[in-house]
Chains A and B, each alone.
Chain A
Amino acid sequence: METKINPIVFQPGGTHTVVTPNPEPRQEIVEAPVPTRRILVVSRKGRFDTALMEHALNIAERLSLDLVCLYIDPLPQWSAKSGSMRRFADTARENAALFEARARERQVRIDTIITDGKVVEKVRDLVHAVRRVEFVVVEPGIRTEELMATLSVPVFTAVVNPDADVQGEVLQRGQMDIRSLGRPEPGKDFSSTYQLIGGGEEMAKTELRKKKVQKAFIFGTAAAALYAALFAFADPLMAIATKGGFFALVSVGTVFLVSYVHGNFTGYFWSALGIEASKTVTVKPTAKVQKPAKRTDKRPRARLSV
Chain B
Amino acid sequence: MHPTGNDIIQFIDLNLISVLFLFAVGFVGGLVSGFIGSGGAFVLTPGMMSLGVPGTVAVASNMCHKFPKALVGAIKRFRYGQVDVKLGLIMGVSAEIGVQLGINLQKSILEKWGQAGSDLYVSLAFVVVLVVVGGLVMVDVLKSAKATGDQKTTGIAQRIQQIELWPMITFKTAGVRISLWFTVPVGLATGMLAATIAVGGFIGVPGLMYVIGVTSLVASATELVIAFVMGLGGTLIWAWYGMVDLRLTLIILGGSLFGVQLGAIGTTYVKDYMIKLVMATIMLVVALSRAIAMPRYLNQLGLMALSDGWVKVLSQVSFGFMILALVIGASIILGSMYKARKTEILAALEPEPQTVQG
* B173 CB contact (under 8 Å) in A119, A243, A286: A286
Interface 1/0 per residue, B161-179 and A, CB below 8 Å = 0001000001111111100
In the bound complex, what is the Cα–Cα distance between A243 and B2 (angstroms)? 10
A118 x B268 contact (CB < 8 A): no
- When distances are taken between beta carbons in the complex, the residues of chain A under 8 Å from B117 are none
B150 x A284 contact (CB < 8 A): yes
Q: Enumerate B325-345 residues with CB–CB distance to A below 8 Å.
A: 340-341, 344
* A74 CB contact (under 8 Å) in B253, B261, B353, B356: B356
In the bound complex, what is the Cα–Cα distance between A116 and B253 (angstroms)? 62
A187 x B78 contact (CB < 8 A): yes
B257 x A262 contact (CB < 8 A): yes
* A259 CB contact (under 8 Å) in B68, B164, B353, B358: B68
A244 x B1 contact (CB < 8 A): yes
In the bound complex, what is the Cα–Cα distance between A244 and B348 (angstroms)? 56
The answer to the question of B246 belonging to the interface, with a C-beta cut-off of 8 Å to chain A, is: yes
Q: Which of B93-101, B233-241, B277-285 contacts A (4 or more CB under 8 A)?
A: B233-241
Min distance, Cβ B264 to any Cβ of chain A, angstroms:
8
- Of A234, A241, A244, A287, which is in contact with the most chain B CB atoms at under 10 Å from its CB? A244
B261 x A243 contact (CB < 8 A): no
- When distances are taken between beta carbons in the complex, the residues of chain B under 8 Å from A76 are 358
A141 x B242 contact (CB < 8 A): no
B170 x A289 contact (CB < 8 A): yes
In the bound complex, what is the Cα–Cα distance between A141 and B347 (angstroms)? 16
B357 x A74 contact (CB < 8 A): yes
The answer to the question of A242 belonging to the interface, with a C-beta cut-off of 8 Å to chain B, is: yes
Min distance, Cβ A82 to any Cβ of chain B, angstroms:
14
Across the interface, name the chain A residue whose C-beta is closest to B79.
A189
Min distance, Cβ B237 to any Cβ of chain A, angstroms:
8
Q: Quick one: given A74-B358, A187-B78, are A244 and B261 in contact (CB under 8 Å)?
A: no
Q: Quick one: given A141-B352, A242-B6, are A192 and B258 in contact (CB under 8 Å)?
A: no
B244 x A251 contact (CB < 8 A): yes
- When distances are taken between beta carbons in the complex, the residues of chain B under 8 Å from A267 are 72, 76, 261
B358 x A118 contact (CB < 8 A): yes
Instruction: Give the number of residues in A that approach B within 8 Å (Cβ atoms).
Output: 66
The answer to the question of A175 belonging to the interface, with a C-beta cut-off of 8 Å to chain B, is: no
In the bound complex, what is the Cα–Cα distance between A277 and B330 (angstroms)? 17
Across the interface, name the chain B residue whose C-beta is closest to A195.
B348
The answer to the question of A279 belonging to the interface, with a C-beta cut-off of 8 Å to chain B, is: yes
The answer to the question of B80 belonging to the interface, with a C-beta cut-off of 8 Å to chain A, is: yes
Q: Quick one: given A118-B358, A120-B357, A255-B253, are A238 and B245 in contact (CB under 8 Å)?
A: yes
In the bound complex, what is the Cα–Cα distance between A243 and B5 (angstroms)? 7
A254 x B246 contact (CB < 8 A): yes
The answer to the question of B45 belonging to the interface, with a C-beta cut-off of 8 Å to chain A, is: no
Q: Quick one: given A75-B356, A259-B71, are A280 and B344 in contact (CB under 8 Å)?
A: yes
Instruction: Give the number of residues in B that approach A within 8 Å (Cβ atoms).
Output: 69
Min distance, Cβ B201 to any Cβ of chain A, angstroms:
19
- When distances are taken between beta carbons in the complex, the residues of chain A under 8 Å from B353 are 141
- When distances are taken between beta carbons in the complex, the residues of chain A under 8 Å from B71 are 259, 263
The answer to the question of B296 belonging to the interface, with a C-beta cut-off of 8 Å to chain A, is: no
Interface 1/0 per residue, A217-250 and B, CB below 8 Å = 0000000000100110010011101111101110
Across the interface, name the chain A residue whose C-beta is closest to B232.
A252
In the bound complex, what is the Cα–Cα distance between A241 and B347 (angstroms)? 53
Across the interface, name the chain B residue whose C-beta is closest to A185.
B81
Min distance, Cβ B239 to any Cβ of chain A, angstroms:
3
B265 x A242 contact (CB < 8 A): no
In the bound complex, what is the Cα–Cα distance between A227 and B251 (angstroms)? 9
Q: Quick one: given A243-B6, A245-B240, A251-B235, are A287 and B358 in contact (CB under 8 Å)?
A: no
Min distance, Cβ A92 to any Cβ of chain B, angstroms:
15
* B177 CB contact (under 8 Å) in A227, A266, A289: A289
B358 x A192 contact (CB < 8 A): no
B residues within 8 Å of A by Cβ?
1-2, 4-6, 9, 11, 64-65, 67-69, 71-72, 75-76, 78-82, 150, 164, 170-177, 215, 217-218, 232, 235-236, 239-247, 249-250, 253-254, 257-258, 260-262, 265, 268-269, 340-341, 344, 347-348, 352-353, 355-358
The 9 listed contacts between A and B (C-beta, < 8 Å) are: A119-B357, A189-B79, A242-B4, A245-B1, A247-B242, A252-B235, A255-B65, A269-B258, A281-B269
A residues within 8 Å of B by Cβ?
73-77, 116-120, 140-143, 165, 187-189, 192, 197, 227, 230-231, 234, 237-239, 241-245, 247-249, 251-252, 254-256, 258-259, 262-263, 265-267, 269-270, 275-284, 286-292
What 4 new A-B contacts, CB under 8 Å, besides A251-B246, A267-B76?
Answer: A142-B355, A255-B68, A282-B268, A289-B170
